[in-house]
Structures are given as C-alpha cells and as structure tokens.
Amino acid sequence: MTRVSHVLRIALVCAVASLAFAASAQAHAWPAKPLKILVGSPPGGPSDITSRLFAEHLSKRFNQPVVVENRAGAGNNLAAGVVAKAEPDGYTLVVSPDTVLTVNPLVYGTQGFDARTDLVNVSVLTSFTQMLVCHPSAG
C-alpha cells in the first residue's frame, strides 16, 4: 500500500466516523434521504476523485445515495456558497481546500456568504502536497 493510499484510507475512516458520530447525536435517523457533496473544482482533479471515493464509502455505510456535484469556479466559492445557503440539516456538504475559510475572505471583496458563520468544518478529509518544480537549467 502506498503512503498516499494509506493516508487517504485513514482520512476516509476519520471522516466517516465523524459523520457517524454526528448522526448518532441527532434524535431522528440520519441520513433519512440522499446526501449531496459539492466539489469546488472541476471533475478529474484530486478533490473530485477524493470526494467520489468518500461518497462511495458514505453510501455503503449509511445505505443512502450520495451525489457528487462539481461547481468549479471563484476559488471554490461557488460550491461553498451553495452549501452556505442550503438548509442546515447535514445533507449538503462541500469538499474544498481550507482557502474558502482562510484566504478567500481576504482576497474576494464578498463571497456572498460569511465563511466563519455560514459553514461548519466537519473534518479534514485528506491533504495534498504541492511543489513547484522547474528544469535545472532555469537557474
């Protein structure tokens, strides 16, 4: 097993455990209807692939359909905005980098929502390492 798949497996287990704990704390059976996960990036990227793997595990765990919908654009603000305005019942989630909560409020004049009050961080789903590389002759 590669390190990435091991980290992804741990992240999925933690996220499912977090959602299961939240579900057990509610008085009614959760989830009683399909879940929707919005992804703030285009299909095929790391966030999309991770979200689809996560959705598959959630669907099996809770015996409910989990729909993944991509809403790319505006630094993930489009997807986060839909979730911020959704009914706060735990059925609409967003997978997004932390920049929606940290950088975007400073970069964008208005996001159309207040990330600090309209969204609740559930769990760190996974993390990705990024690096900038160039040809050695570039100096």
pLDDT in tens, the chain (139 residues): 565 565 556 655 555 556 655 555 555 688 999 999 999 999 999 899 999 999 999 999 999 999 999 999 999 999 999 999 999 999 999 999 888 988 999 998 888 999 889 998 888 888 878 788 999 999 7
**Phi, psi of 92, deg, nearest 5:** -120, 115
Hey, is 92 helix, strand or coil?
Answer: strand
Q: What are the sequence ranges of the domains in the chain?
A: 3-126
Rounded to whole angstroms, how far apart are CA atoms 30 and 12? 19
Task: Name the pTM for this structure.
Answer: 0.74
Tell me, which fold does domain 3-126 have in CATH?
A: Rossmann fold (3.40.50)
Rounded to whole angstroms, how far apart are CA atoms 90 and 46? 24
